[in-house]
Amino acid sequence: MAKITFDGIEVEVEDGTSILNAARKIGGKIVPPAMCYYKPLAGSGGKCRVCLVKVTQGSAKDPRPMPKLVASCVTPVQDGMVVENTLSPQVLEARKGVVEMLLINHPLDCPVCDQAGECDLQNLSYEHGTSGTRYEEERRTFDKVDIGPLIQLHMTRCILCYRCVYTADQITDKRVHGILGRGDAAEIGTYIENVIDNDFSGNVIDVCPVGALTDKTFRFKNRVWFTKPVDAHRDCPKCSGKVVLWNRGSDVLRVTARKNEYGEVVEFICNECRFDKKEVSDWIIDGPRHIARASVISANHYELPVVNPQIIADLPESTTKELNLLPRPF
């Protein structure tokens, strides 16, 4: 076991745990954001650099600080390590810089993007970015690539987190897509026209932190904040069958896997559950889905508590009243 101090809070974790997961054990606002790291996917992390933290003391044995900021998702803890995240202006400044980098070539087409409302990049830029842009150059574009009837690829939105590649490697039996090209010309693709199609291919949609990979069967059907998430399950021979249904009235508009508070899929689901079971009668409803992450979904009217009621100016009075009765998480 190793004891570390993260933002002034002591926590004990198993040896080999990453700094990020140690912070998650503490939980709350001090947890660094992560755009590429994804706990269920081995090998993920280290790429997006938004989880950079400052190690002010390397370990009890060797108390020297680390010379550079480190990616908390891939740096293992050492006993006696002292780490600063929200307490370090250097970290916050660097994070702001990384967010800017992630956005300079992003199309900012949120108004027509199906991911809007549940987009990690939206949340990240809201919390850590700046309102303006200093980027005067032309934004990067890519040729359109069709990867089949179920999944929509929008390469311009991609932040190259590699999660979908790891998913295809680790969850499906054959990977046909990957990262092609190099540098800022690198892109997700199949190279030769190829359909990403196997029983678990749809999971790349759930792991994508942005709107680069979205559900074609849900495309332009609705905004996620108008849909009502409910937990449901069915007896599925291929997967756990535990899903979230995104309903509008009595229509099932979308089916996704269940995710934890960090947006990580708890159990990957099969394509049949995701794409073919779009009737309420296909499912046994477990109850309303609690979306813990900061997003407009958690701030909608279907479900409480709202973490940041003050950011929504015109909540109905009834909701405000109910909210005030609830214990605040922070």
Partner 1 sequence: MESPTTQNEVQFSEAAMAEIRRYISHYPAERKKSAILPVLHIAQAEFGGWVSPQVQEKVAEILDIQPIEVFEVASFYTMFNLKPVGKHVLEVCRTGPCMLRGADGLIEHLENRLGCHVGKTSPDGLFTLKTVECLAACGMGPMLQIREKYYENLDPQKMDQLLNDLSKA
Partner 2 sequence: MGLKILTEHINVPGIDTLETYRKLGGYRSVEKALKTMTPDEVVEEVKKSGLRGRGGAGFPTGLKWSFLAKPEGKPRYLVCNADESEPGTFKDRVLMEKIPHALIEGMITSSYALGARTSYIYIRGELMFVLRILEKAIAECYAAGLLGENILGSGYSLDLHVHPGGGAYICGEETALLESLEGKRGNPRNKPPFPAVWGLYGCPTVVNNVESIATVPWIVNNTGEEYAKIGVGRSTGTKLISAGGHINNPGVYEIELGLPVEEFLFSDEYCGGIWKGRKFKAIVAGGSSVPILPGELFLKTAEGTPRLMTYESLSEGGFVSGTMLGSGGFIVMDDTTCIVRNTWNFSRFYHHESCGQCSPCREGTGWMEKILHRLEHGHGHMHDIDLLVNVSKQIEGNTICPLGDAAAWPVASAVRHFRDEFEWHVKHPEKATAAGAVYSGAEDLAFA
Report the interface residues with partner 2, using CB under 8 A.
Answer: 45-50, 52, 68-69, 71, 74-76, 94, 97-98, 100-102, 104-105, 134-135, 137, 140, 159-160, 162, 179, 181-186
Q: How many CA atoms lie within 13 A of 224 on its CB side?
A: 26
CA distance 187 to 175: 15
Contacted by 231, from partner 1, partner 2, none: CB < 5 to 8 Å by type: none
Q: How far apart are the first and last CA of the chain?
A: 29
Q: CB nearer to partner 1: give 98 or 168.
A: 168
Residues 75 and 101: beta-carbon distance below 8 Å = no
Q: CB nearer to partner 1: give 54 or 177.
A: 177
Q: Residue 186 Cβ, how far from partner 1 at the closest point, in Å?
A: 8
CA distance 207 to 168: 11
Contacted by 191, from partner 1, partner 2, none: CB < 5 to 8 Å by type: partner 1
Q: CB nearer to partner 2: give 74 or 307.
A: 74
- Exposure letters 208-223 (e unless 16+ CB within 10 A, then b): bbbbbbbbbbbeeeeb
Contacted by 176, from partner 1, partner 2, none: CB < 5 to 8 Å by type: partner 1
Q: CB nearer to partner 2: give 69 or 230.
A: 69
> For binding to partner 1 (CB under 8 A), which residues are involved?
174-182, 190-192
* Nearest-5° Cα angle at 228, 227 to 231: 135
Contacted by 258, from partner 2, partner 1, none: CB < 5 to 8 Å by type: none
Amino acid at 33: P
Q: CB nearer to partner 1: give 68 or 174.
A: 174
Alpha carbon 45 to its chain centroid, in Å, reads 12
Q: Residue 52 Cβ, how far from partner 2 at the closest point, in Å?
A: 6
